[in-house]
Structure 1
Amino acid sequence: MVLAIEEKIIAALLAHGRREEPNEACGYLAAKDGVVCRHFELTNIDAAPDHYAMDPAEQFAVIRQIRAEGLQLAAVYHSHPETPARPSIEDLRLAHDPKVIYVIVSLMAGVVPVRAFRIRQGTETEVPLKVVAGAR
C-alpha cells in the first residue's frame, strides 16, 4: 500500500500547520482515482499543542461534502508543531480504527515533513508516500 498525494496538498498541509501554531492542526484528506487531491481543514476543538480533537459536526459535514464531490476519504491528518512526523504516545493511544491512514505533518526543521502511518493496537506501520504532480 502506497499513499499517492499531490504536491500541492503537501504544501497546503504545511501551511495549515503553520497557521495553527502553536497548536496542532487537523483535517481530512480526500482522493480521486487513488490520489489525494483535496484537504479539508477541521477545527482542533481542544486547541492544544500536543493533541487534537475534531468537531463532530464539522466531521460529518466534510464527509458529506467528500461524498457529494465524488471523492473518497483517504486519510486523517494532523500536525506536530515541535516533534517529528511520527505517531506520539497519545496518537498511538487514540487511534481506534486500524483501516485509517494517519498523515502526520511536522513543522520541525531538518526532519521529513510529512509521513503516513497505519496504527493497529498501538503499533504503527509506515505507509510510503508517493508525491505526484497534480492537475494544472
Structure 2
Amino acid sequence: MLVLTAAQLGQLITQAQNSYPEECCGLLLGHGKTVEQIWPTANSWTLEFSQAMPELLPSEPQSQSRRDHFAIAPREILQAQKFARTAGLAIIGIYHSHPDHPAVPSEYDRAIAWDIYSYLILSVENRRVTAYHSWTLDGARQFQEETLQIQPSQSRTL
C-alpha cells in the first residue's frame, strides 16, 4: 500500500494538469511505502529515446512525443538520491501522467519499470485529473495495482 497525504496528492494533480497535454513526471521520496516528499522533474523525453529503444515504441513518429512518453534525466535522479540520502529518505516511487488515457501502465511503462518502486499514474482529460492509481511489478514483470491510501494533510509532518 502506497501512503501519501491529501496535500501531496494535490501537488501531483496540479503538476499533471499544468503539464497537459504532455506527460508530467517525478519521484516519490519517503520511507518504505510512505511518501514524505514529492520531487517533481522535467519530462526529458526526446525522439532520441525512440532510436535507443525502437522495439518498445510505436513506429508512428506522432506517437513518440512527451504527450505519450516520459523520461527522467539521470542527473535529476542523482540529485534526488543525494537529497534523499541526506534527509534520511529514499526514492520509493515514480509518478507520471497519462494525458487523455487511463491511469493504467503502458507497455513502455512496464519495459522501463523497476520492481523496487511504486508507479503512480494520473489520468488527465482536458486538463483535469480524472483518476489515479498506483502499481508495482510482480515477479513475472507484470503490473499489479496496489492500494493507495490518502491521509489528511494535517495528520503527518512533511
Question: Which category describes the TM-score, using the shorter chain as reference length?
Answer: 0.7 to 0.9
- Tell me, which stretches of 5 or more residues in structure 2 are unaligned? 46-64
What corresponds to 1:50 in structure 2? 68
What corresponds to 1:6 in structure 2? 5
Give the aligned length: 134
1:129 aligns with 2:145: no
Per the TM alignment, residue 122 of structure 1 is displaced from its structure 2 partner at its CA by 4.2
1:107 aligns with 2:124: yes
**Mapped partners of 1:45, 1:63: distance in 2:** 18
1:90 aligns with 2:108: yes
Of 117-126 and 84-93, deviating more is 117-126
Q: Secondary structure at the match of 2:75?
A: helix
Structure possessing the higher radius of gyration over alpha carbons: 2
The answer as to whether partners of 1:117 and 1:125 remain within 8 angstroms in 2 is yes
TM-score w.r.t. the length of structure 2 is 0.76
Per the TM alignment, residue 35 of structure 1 is displaced from its structure 2 partner at its CA by 2.4
The answer as to whether partners of 2:136 and 2:145 remain within 8 angstroms in 1 is yes
Per the TM alignment, residue 128 of structure 1 is displaced from its structure 2 partner at its CA by 0.4
- Tell me, which stretches of 5 or more residues in structure 1 are unaligned? none
**Mapped partners of 1:114, 1:10: distance in 2:** 9
Structure with greater helix percent: 2
1:75 aligns with one of 73, 77, 93? 93
2:136 aligns with one of 95, 118, 127? 118
What corresponds to 2:61 in structure 1? none
Q: Deviations over 1:110-132 (max 9, x none)?
A: 98622110124441101100110
TM-score w.r.t. the length of structure 1 is 0.87
The answer as to whether partners of 1:28 and 1:40 remain within 8 angstroms in 2 is yes
**Mapped partners of 2:129, 2:18: distance in 1:** 19
